[in-house]
Amino acid sequence: MSMRTSLFIALGVSALAGSAALAQTVVRDIERPDMPGRVVFEQQCAPCHGTGLGDDGSPTLPGTAALDAKYGGDRPGALELRSDLPAPVLRVIVRRGSGAMSGFRKGELTDEQIDQIAEYIAATAAANSGG
Amino acid sequence: MSVLPPDMDAAGFAAFLEELRGAVGADWVWSGDADMFPYRDSFSPVWNTDEERHASAAVAPENVEQVSAVVRIARKHRVPLYPISTGKNFGYGGPSPNVNGSVVLDLKRMNRVLEVNNERNYCLVEPGVSYFDLQRAVDETGNKVMLDCPDPGWGSPIGNSLERGVGYTMPHFRDHFGSHCGMEVVLPDGEIMRTGMGALPGSDTWHEYPYGFGPDPAGLFAQGNFGVVTKMGFRLMPMPEYYRTGLITVPRRRDFIKLVNHVNYLSDSGLIGEVEYGSALRALMGDRDFLALITKTGGPSDAEMDAAASAAGLPSWQVELQFFGPEKATLENWNYAKDRILSDIPGAAAVDGDHFTMPATEEQLNNTTQPWQTSIKRRRSLGVPSLGAWKIVRDDGHVGFFPVLPRTGEAVFEVQRVLGDAMKEFPSLPSYFNALSTPLFWHTHTFQMVFAPSIKHDDPEHNAITHASMKKCVAVAAEHGWGDYRAAPIYQDDVSDTYSFNNHILRRFHEQLKDSIDPDGIIAPGRGGIWPRRFRA
């Protein structure tokens, strides 16, 4: 099991140029259960949708920033805290893409791997619910 | 949108797919709208129009023998294949082909890092290896070499170099095709060929001497369609001991000419890595009068720009320098750069920047401690793969036009004026070319400048403007001798047309070669503007 070191940093930032400043909760470290989907997530999703800092002073990575801006606080921008992405939903999003994210091909990410990611996300969301 | 390969009916297509399944396994052949959706170019300005190019199927072999088998089957059925590596060539066509109905040869499963040599400083990889994968392999072998990555780390060293992509470290590593050494290629008849010393059985110098003996055909496989590259070696820079940065500013507009010449000297002497040119005057672009000045038809005068800079108390230009090597050497090189430039340009000033031992820590990679507002992207400058750069993607994506121009201040001023005036036809686009537009020093000995209008999946009118502006940019730039270095399939014919010396002899030569080894166009017909006889008819 991974060690839990939760750190929640409240920042007032303007996520994207032109958007109104909004209070975001930037999540840095969360509990991450050891399961097959974790490695897949870390390699395929986390470089854009992880909880780390973005490049060169950005408070969040691009995918997390984009979802923060999209949901305006109604849902977490960090995918690992989303409890509403079961495998059938995730498959559609991953295959078809969304906004600046292009769809992922079966040659690079199998259906089984997407299902593993969905299980991992559900587990991380549950493990970190309630702060 | 289901399509069939050229000159093939549904029954023939089914038989073809069945043979592919026999070669690679049923799990690794796909067709139909759902599975083919991710093979569309989601950054395409012709999205959902008749001009969009659609593949009919995809096949993903896991080794070179299967690639050879797939090519032989395609040759037998006369089906065009479109090879991709990691399929992330966004802005330049992504995974979508030149010809409707092509079958994508998806090489992502071939993702083995075959060697990282820390003593002789090279690696050997397959096409499906990403920069992230390669960095993991480098880490596992002691992190003793420094990669040179493009902005997004999910790209393939092979795919990026075959597109003549660029990176951001030292000059000869930034040219990714130029830094390759040795390749393995499956030819259009299915034969497997190795270039350079790879052609000599028993040689142990495949990735150290690129030429072997006789003509070197390696260049034909970059932006070409003469084979499927299944392995490539790359030269790697030993991990430098130290990294140092510095900023130089110059006061007047015309000082840029001297500044560029000095930086050229430093770069060509091997003293600096990639540089970032910029202007502090960009802070004034929110001022309507200043914006009108820098976008003025015909360009502003030097006196007008100098007066604006003087009134604002800002320098006209700046350059951020980066040094790699032993600590003392980086300091001496920075001191030399300062002395050289400040003694020649009145009013020039220098600021010492971040410097630290390599490899960088996570905190250093985060790049938050420069004493000025930096344009250096720290991870890419240190060859560390990232997707952080995706923050620059506006709307649903973009296309890119990066003309190659001489490495002089005068040429930059001319591009600012000529393309700035030409693009006034598209007032809804951001101002890519104005009196403050600075060059990109990516390739080893030339400048490029950037034009990258966005696309929106639900706004065909916006996309039509982007599409028309791209074609105009290619044409106007070429009239002045500035050629595009890389293009999406929908623009490859336009760009190829501009390289027209002696009645297009370069393209006619390529077509003669294509006709002799691949007359039916099995490998990516149309790629690079090269069409075989079958498709020229």
pLDDT digit string, tens, across residues B405-435 = 999 999 999 999 999 999 999 999 999 999 9
- The phi-psi region of residue A17 (left if phi > 0; otherwise alpha if psi is between -120 and 50; otherwise beta) is beta
A108, A111, A112, A113: best to mutate for the B interface, most B CBs within 10 A: A108
For residue B2, name the pLDDT band (cuts at 50, 70, 90).
confident
**In B303-461, at which residue ranges do the beta strands (DSSP E only) sit?**
317-325, 349-357, 403-405, 447-448
> Do residue A100 and residue B368 have CB atoms under 8 angstroms apart?
no
What is the pLDDT, as a whole number, of residue B57?
98
Residue numbers of the domain that contains B143: 113-238
Q: Residue A23: what pLDDT?
A: 41
B92 in contact with A, Cβ within 8 Å? no
> What are the tokens at A5?
């070191």
* Domain co-membership, B154 together with B212: yes
Residue B411: what are its φ and ψ, rounded to 5°? -65, -40
Place B151 in a pLDDT band, splitting at 50, 70 and 90.
Answer: very high
Task: Work out the minimum CA distance from B507 to partner chain A, whole angstroms.
Answer: 33
- ipTM, two decimals, is 0.94
Who has greater pLDDT, A21 or B343? B343
Residue B437 lies in a domain: yes
Q: What is the pLDDT of residues B302-312, one digit of tens each?
A: 999 999 999 99
Q: What percent of chain B has pLDDT over 70?
A: 100
| Residues B412, B381 within the same domain | no
Look at residue B494 and tell me if it is in a domain. Answer: no
| Phi and psi torsions of B184, nearest 5° | -115, 135
SS (H, E, C) B463-517: HHHHHHHHHHHHHHHHHCCCEECCCCHHHHHHHHHHCCHHHHHHHHHHHHHHHHH
Q: Which residues contact B58 (CB under 8 A, 6 or more apart)?
A: A105, A107, B29, B30, B31, B35, B36, B39, B103, B104, B105, B106
Nearest residue on chain B to A95, judged by CA atoms? B38
Q: What is the pLDDT of residue A25?
A: 56
In the block, tokens 């706004």 appear at B459
Q: Let me know: does B38 contact B30? Beta carbons within 8 Å.
A: no
Q: Is the peptide bond before B315 cis (omega within 30 degrees of 0)?
A: no
**Residue B147 belongs to some domain of the structure:** yes
B153 touches chain A (CB under 8 A): yes
Same domain, B212 and B246: no
CB contact under 8 A, B38 and A103: yes
Q: Is residue B397 part of a domain?
A: no
**Domain presence at residue B81:** yes
Which of B332, B371, B380 is CA-nearest to residue B352? B371
| B330 and B221 assigned to the same domain | no
Under an 8 A CB cutoff, do B397 and A96 touch?
A: no
List b or e across B373-399, with b for residues whose CB sees 16 or more CB atoms inside 10 angstroms: ebbbbbbbbbbbbbbbbbbebbbbbbb
Please list every residue in chain B whose beta carbon sits closer than 8 Å to the beta carbon of residue A111: none
pLDDT at position A28: 76
Domain end: B91, B108, B125, which one?
B108
Is residue B398 a part of any domain in this protein?
Answer: no
Contact A55 B367 (CB under 8 A): yes
> Exposed e or buried b for every residue in B52-76, given b needs 16+ CB within 10 A?
bbbbbbbbbbbebebbbbbbbbbbe
List, for residues B94-125, the tens digit of each pLDDT value.
Answer: 999 999 999 999 999 999 999 999 999 999 99
Give the CA count within 13 Å in the CB-facing half-sphere of B398: 16
pLDDT at A17: 34
C-beta atoms of A54 and B377 within 8 A:
no
pLDDT one-digit tens code per residue, B209-243 = 999 999 999 999 999 999 999 999 999 999 999 99
**Token output for B270:** 């091997």
Report the residue from B28, B38, B368 with minimal CB separation from A57: B368
When pLDDT is cut at 50, 70 and 90, the band that residue B160 belongs to is very high
State whether residue B288 is helix, strand or coil. Answer: helix
Single out the residue in B391, B412, B446 at which a domain terminates.
B391
Q: Do B366 and A63 touch (CB under 8 A)?
A: no
Look at B369 and A27; give whichever has higher pLDDT. B369
- What mean pLDDT do residues B373-393 have? 96
* pLDDT for residue A29: 83
Structural domains of chain B, count:
5
Q: Summarize pLDDT for B121-142 with one digit per residue, the tens.
A: 999 999 999 999 999 999 999 9
Q: Chain A interface, mutation test: which of B37, B59, B387, B399, most A Cβ atoms within 10 Å?
A: B387
Please say if the pLDDT value at position B29 is more than 50.
yes
Crossing angle of the two packed helices A87-96 and A111-127, in degrees rounded to 10? 120
Cα distance from B365 to chain A (closest Cα, Å)? 8
Task: Indicate the pLDDT class of residue B537, thresholds 50, 70 and 90.
Answer: confident
The pair phi, psi for residue B257, each rounded to 5°, is: -65, -50
Pair B331, B471 in one domain: no
Residues B246, B385 share a domain: yes
Asked whether residue B376 is assigned to any structural domain, the reply reads yes
Residue B69 has pLDDT above 80, yes or no: yes
User: What average pLDDT does chain B have?
Assistant: 97
**What is d(CA B113, CA B129) in angstroms, rounded to the nearest whole number?**
7
Nearest to B132 by CA among B156, B108, B100: B156
Q: Is residue A83 within 8 Å of residue A122, measured between CB atoms? A: yes
Q: What is the pLDDT of residues B173-206, one digit of tens each?
A: 999 999 999 999 999 999 999 999 999 999 999 9
The secondary structure of residue B121, as a DSSP letter, is T
Residue B177's CATH number: 3.30.465.10
Residue B510 within a domain: yes
Among B238, B269, B286, identify where a domain stops.
Answer: B238
Nearest by CB: A97 against B42, B106, B388: B42
Residues B222 and B269 in one domain: no
Statement to judge: residues B181 and B152 lie in one domain? yes
Does residue B291 carry a pLDDT above 70? yes
Residue B258 shares a structural domain with residue B213? no
For residue B94, the chain A residues in CB contact (below 8 A) are: 102
**Domain of B534: which CATH number?**
1.10.45.10
Which of B52, B17, B13, B57 minimizes the C-alpha distance to B35?
Answer: B57
Q: What is the mean pLDDT of each run of 10 residues along chain A (131 residues)?
A: 32 33 62 96 97 94 96 95 97 96 97 98 93 48
> What is the CATH number for B372?
3.40.462.10
CATH number at residue B65: 3.30.43.10
- Asked if residue B386 and residue B420 are part of one domain, the reply reads no
pLDDT (0 to 100) of residue A4? 34
Q: What angle do CA B13, B18, B19 make, to 5 degrees?
A: 100
Q: Are residues B160 and B179 in the same domain?
A: yes
Are B248 and B374 in a shared domain? yes
For residue A53, give the nearest of B42, B366, B374 by CB distance: B366
